[in-house]
Structure formats: C-alpha cells, structure tokens
Amino acid sequence: MSSSFHPPLRTLMGPGPSDVSPRVLEALARPTIGHLDPMFVELMDELKSLLHYAFQTENALTLPVSAPGSAGMEATFVNLVSPGDTVIVCQNGVFGGRMKENVERCGATAVMVEDTWGEPVSIDKVSAAFAANPQASILAFVHAETSTGVRSDARALCALASEHGALSIVDTVTSLGGIELLVDAWGADAVYSGTQKCLSCVPGISPVTFSDRAVERINNRSHKVQSWFLDMQLIMGYWGSGAKRAYHHTAPVNNLYALHESLLMLKEEGLEQAHQRHMNNHLALVAGLEAMGIGMAVAKEHRLPQLNLVLIPEGVDDAAVRQALLQKYDLEIGAGLGALAGKAWRIGLMGSSSTQRHVRLCLMALEAVLADMQAPIVSGAALPAAEAVFSNS
Ligand code: PLP
C-alpha cells in the first residue's frame, strides 16, 4: 500500500536546488487562499516590489512566472523574438545551447558565439558577431553558467547590445542573490531567473523583468506570441499595475508565499551582504580544497562564488564519491556536465547553502570519503585552511 512520502534530510550543495530555510518552508505551509483574494493581491504587489529590489530595477514589467527557470527563459524569447529575426546567442556551457533552441523554435536565426566551456563569453567575439550581422536585434547570454561555474561580464555585454541597437536577454538563474546584478544600471532588457539557487526558495517559479524598450518591442509585435501561457500581454492582465487582476491561470499561491519569504530574507540581509557572504564561503572552500591538494577548474578571476567547479583527483571514481557523500553524509554535490563529466564536480554554495557550516561539512566529508578510497590527497589540512579564511572575513 502507498504511504506518505517523507524525504531524507539532505544537505544540498549541488547546482540547485539549494537548501530551503525553515522560514521559507513554514511560509509554504500557510493556508491557501484564492489567487484573486484581496489579501493575495496585496501580496502580489509586495512581491513585485521585492523583485525590484532583488533585480535592482524600476521596470514596471517585473513578476514571477508560474513555472521554473526554463519557462522564464522561454518567456523572454517568445515575447521578444519574431520569425525572421537574427539573434546573437553566446554559448559557453549548457544553457546557451537552450537559448539557441528557443531562438530557432521562434522561427528566427541564431548566430552562435561559442567559447570553451570553463571560459567566460568573449566580448571581442560578440563585437565581431555584431559587425558581421548588423541586422541582429537581440543579444542573448548567460550571466552565471551553472554548468561550468563561470561568470561572464554582463555589464559589458549589455552595453555592447545597446551600442548596436539590440536588446539583451540575460539568464540570471544562478546569479540573482549570489553576485552583483544591476538590471537598470547595466541596461539589461529581458532578464529571467529561478527561485531554487541563490534565493533558496522551492523550485518552480521564475522571476522575470523587462525594460521599457523590451515592453515597446512586445507592444509593437506584428505576430501573436506563439505561447498562450507565456504571452506577457495576457499575463499583465493578472500581474500588471492597475490591472483588473483578471484570471489568466491559477497562480501557485503557496509557492508565491515562499518566494515572498525568501525575497524578504534577502532584503533583510541586504544584497551586498549576501554577495559578500557567498564570496567569503567560496574563498574558504577553495582554501580548504587546495590545502587538500584538489584544484579548481576555472581561472580565479572568472569563478562564481556560488558554484565551484572542482577538479576530480586523478584515478578517483566520480560517481562513487558522490554516492558515498550522499549515503554517509546526506550531502549532495553535483556531477560535471558535457565535456566536464567525470572530470569535475560542481559544489554549490548558494543562498541558504552558503554558510560556514556547509563549507566545513563538505570539506570534512569529502576528505573522509577520499581518504577511504586511498585517493592522492593531503589529510588534516583542509579545515584549518578554511578556518583561517573565516577568521579573516
Ligand atoms: N539557466 C540556468 C543558467 C540554469 O542553471 C538553469 C537550471 O539549472 C536553467 C536556466 C533552467 O532552470 P529550471 O531548471 O528551473 O527550469
């Protein structure tokens, strides 16, 4: 006979979801009310204002899409790309490839700017792509590549798009709340994110924001948006300022309580403090790993503090280590993807999973598992190295 599902209590240090704080889980369990209830409508206004803070924007069209990050991605493409358009798409990992799919499914041409996985998007190559394709109307790129742990220069890329009269579509699924993201100051036009990374909320919602330039492009479309569900003009009937809050779809009421709580926690901590916390814990983890004799796969200046690409020591069985961490320590870390599969682990320090406790647990557990396997590591040095960083931060 079936019975209730009781998941194990894991520590989530992979590429997302990250640990969800008890405060957010408690919000999720509050009584469900109607999605047109006047009290819920008040919550929607607050959510928009908290998203304005998180994204650092005044954009009127800022809201949480009722589906995961991939839906936020699709929402930006289907609303801004029309058949026959040319879109420059940067790919330096998994998610640029998905952007290409989106462009092609909108009936447009994707001009690919490819960089090696583990490197940031090359500004020079994007410049050259604009020179060769002056008709390009959009530049799309990933700010924080979760598949490789690399940060690209979103400020410079947005500036380049606007210099060429193009709009920018920016994937901030892994960056929001973890590293600097200044939507208005950088002139980013269509930005989407996810809730399950540095916001440490439950998965399944995608915050998005569109600049006035992007909204103008949406309002001047000659073709209907191919997706009914993600058509921003229809969604605005429910979410828009001064809108009648007419029914479009049934909003995921409890998930939105949870998002509200996690955004509130971010605001209480402050963006700069949250970024600094992510950086301090990253530096401690790296110091510990290096003391153990384990190297990092990404050059220092391009590393994401919230997603660490760690080189698997010679001769070590990738899957066996991850399995032992899960079985013995209830600790999840991520596998490498694509060319990095079997060569690197992805250790996330995102949102509520970015604490000194997480760093210590990860170093201690990894060292124990690797020592058990007679892997070529230095024992006893990792925790003191991490503690030295903590005491200086
Ligand atoms: N973009 C990036 C950079 C991501 O890391 C992810 C998920 O890991 C997505 C998009 C897709 O988000 P979701 O899995 O919530 O649909």
d(CA 152, CA 171): 11
Residue 112 has pLDDT above 80, yes or no: yes
**pLDDT, tens digit, 9 for 90 and up, residues 11-64:** 999 999 999 999 999 999 999 999 999 999 999 999 999 999 999 999 999 999
3 state SS of 93: coil
* Interval 189-212 mean pLDDT: 98
Q: Which atom of ligand 1 is nearest to the CA of 144?
A: 3
Q: Please name the amino acid found at residue 311.
A: L
Q: Which residue in 127, 123, 83 sits closest to 107, CA to CA?
A: 83
**pLDDT, tens digit, 9 for 90 and up, residues 264-288:** 999 999 999 999 999 999 999 999 9
d(CA 81, CA 84): 9
Q: Is 251 in the pocket of ligand 1 (CB under 6 A)?
A: no
d(CA 85, CA 81): 7
The sign of the dihedral angle between the CA atoms of 223, 229, 233, 234 is positive
**What per-residue confidence (pLDDT) applies to 188?**
98
Q: Is 75 in the pocket of ligand 1 (CB under 6 A)?
A: no
Q: Is 95 in the pocket of ligand 1 (CB under 6 A)?
A: yes
- Residue 297 contacts residue 289 (beta carbons within 8 Å): no
Which residue matches tokens 């909320």?
201
**What per-residue confidence (pLDDT) applies to 237?**
86
d(CA 252, CA 197): 19
Residue 367 has pLDDT above 90, yes or no: yes
Residue 173 has pLDDT above 80, yes or no: yes
**What per-residue confidence (pLDDT) applies to 207?**
98
**What per-residue confidence (pLDDT) applies to 338?**
87
Q: Which atom of ligand 1 is nearest to the CA of 147?
A: 5
**What per-residue confidence (pLDDT) applies to 317?**
96
The sign of the dihedral angle between the CA atoms of 42, 62, 12, 353 is negative
* Interval 210-239 mean pLDDT: 95
* Interval 131-146 mean pLDDT: 98
Residue 155 has pLDDT above 80, yes or no: yes
**What per-residue confidence (pLDDT) applies to 81?**
98
Q: Which residue in 149, 139, 167, 170 sits closest to 69, CA to CA?
A: 170
* Interval 207-226 mean pLDDT: 96
Across the chain, what does the average pLDDT equal?
A: 97
Q: Is 97 in the pocket of ligand 1 (CB under 6 A)?
A: no
**pLDDT, tens digit, 9 for 90 and up, residues 285-305:** 999 999 999 999 999 999 999
Which residue matches tokens 């007679």?
374
Residue nearest to atom 14 of ligand 1 (CA): 69
* Interval 154-181 mean pLDDT: 98
Q: How far apart are the first and last CA of the chain?
A: 53
Residue 110 to residues 114, 121, 377: CA-CA distances in angstroms? Answer: 12, 16, 45
Phi, psi of 365 (to 5 degrees): -70, -45
Residue 212 has pLDDT above 90, yes or no: yes
Q: Which residues contact 30 (CB under 8 A, 6 or more apart)?
A: 254, 257
Q: Is 175 in the pocket of ligand 1 (CB under 6 A)?
A: no
Beta strands in the chain (DSSP E): 11-13, 61-65, 86-91, 109-114, 138-142, 144-145, 150-151, 167-171, 190-192, 206-210, 307-311, 331-335, 344-348
**pLDDT, tens digit, 9 for 90 and up, residues 80-96:** 999 999 999 999 999 99
Residue 250 has pLDDT above 90, yes or no: yes
**Stretch (H or E) spanning 338:** none
- Would you tell me the crossing angle of helices 69-80 and 94-105 to the nearest 10 degrees? 40
3 state SS of 304: strand
Paired residues of 11 in beta bridges:
331
Question: Would the pTM of this model clear 0.95, i.e. be above it?
Answer: yes
Tabulate helix, strand, coil % of the chain (nearest 5).
45, 15, 40
* Interval 97-113 mean pLDDT: 98
Paired residues of 138 in beta bridges:
87, 167
Q: Is 205 in the pocket of ligand 1 (CB under 6 A)?
A: no
**What per-residue confidence (pLDDT) applies to 241?**
75
- Confidence band for 191, pLDDT divided at 50, 70 and 90: very high
